[in-house]
Structure 1
Amino acid sequence: MSKQRLQQVADTIQQILGSVIQNELKDPRVGFATVTGVQVSPDLQRATVRISVMGEEAEQSATMEALLRARGFLRRRVAEEMSHMRFVPELRLVQDTSLDYTMRINEVLREVEQERRANPPKLDQE
């Protein structure tokens, strides 16, 4: 299958899951979760779904646990929306921590900048 077709399938799955998670899941443990990406295997048997979850660590793990329990429902909704496909990939949900990492790097950079402003470098004058 062409890379373009795989990407189209992945993008469609991402849109469907994003909508279903935001609008259809009724589990109160599901907090603010965003589908940040989907990677589909070349044989369309598996799809790795990256999910970014906002909130404290306990809230994040509760949300991921609820989403893992809802995996069958999510796959069924993908199958309904993509009824033209012969196979619906098995969903592998993984937490995407890249946003947390980026936020932490920005925080450290701000701290360094504040420290530089408080203690400017002294230039040797001859």
Structure 2
Amino acid sequence: MKLRPTRIGEQMKKEMSDIISRKIKDPRIGFVTVTDVQVTGDLQQAKVYISVLGDEEQKQNTLKGLAKAKGFIRSEIGQRIRLRKTPEILFEFDESIDYGNRIETLIGELHRDRKDDHE
């Protein structure tokens, strides 16, 4: 049954965004967007995909801050979502956003080159 992990992932994504933006006061944590949460079939682990506004240093600082707050985040999730055992949380950067931006930039460059060739 694949529905339950997906449903829990969706619920965790919503709660996670709220917890990170409202409850955590760590100055290292920048502007974070939770893009996806994937929960394993056995509900033991949740991979939280995040996107962080800023440069590489800000991204790394945010990751450190979130790692430090992991216990707090997990207990908050446990209170908000009724599960026998709250999944272990792993934070990862959502590379697909950077990848998408990179593709857009390349397409833009191609269009400009093409326009230059025709002038």
TM-score of the superposed pair, with normalisation by structure 2 = 0.94
Deviations 1:78-120 (A, max 9, x none): 00101x3111101011111211111111111111111111112
| Counterparts of 2:74 and 2:23, CA distance in 1 | 13
Structure 2 partner of 1:52:
51
Structure 1 partner of 2:87:
89
> How high is the sequence identity, in percent, across the aligned residues?
35
| Counterparts of 1:108 and 1:42, CA distance in 2 | 37
Describe the SS at the equivalent of 2:24: coil
Structure 2 partner of 1:32:
31
Deviations 1:32-67 (A, max 9, x none): 111111111111111111111121111111111111
Describe the SS at the equivalent of 2:49: strand
Matches within 5 A, 1:46-125: 46-82=45-81, 84-120=82-118
Describe the SS at the equivalent of 2:86: coil
Larger radius of gyration: 1
- Following TM superposition, by how much is the alpha carbon of 1:73 offset from its aligned partner in structure 2, in angstroms? 0.8
Runs of 4+ in 1 over 2 A off after TM superposition: none
- Following TM superposition, by how much is the alpha carbon of 1:74 offset from its aligned partner in structure 2, in angstroms? 0.7
Q: Extract unaligned runs of 5+ from structure 2.
A: none
Describe the SS at the equivalent of 2:47: strand
> What is the one-letter code of the residue matched to 1:4?
L
Structure 2 partner of 1:124:
none
Describe the SS at the equivalent of 1:43: coil
Between Structure 1 and Structure 2, how many residues are aligned? 119
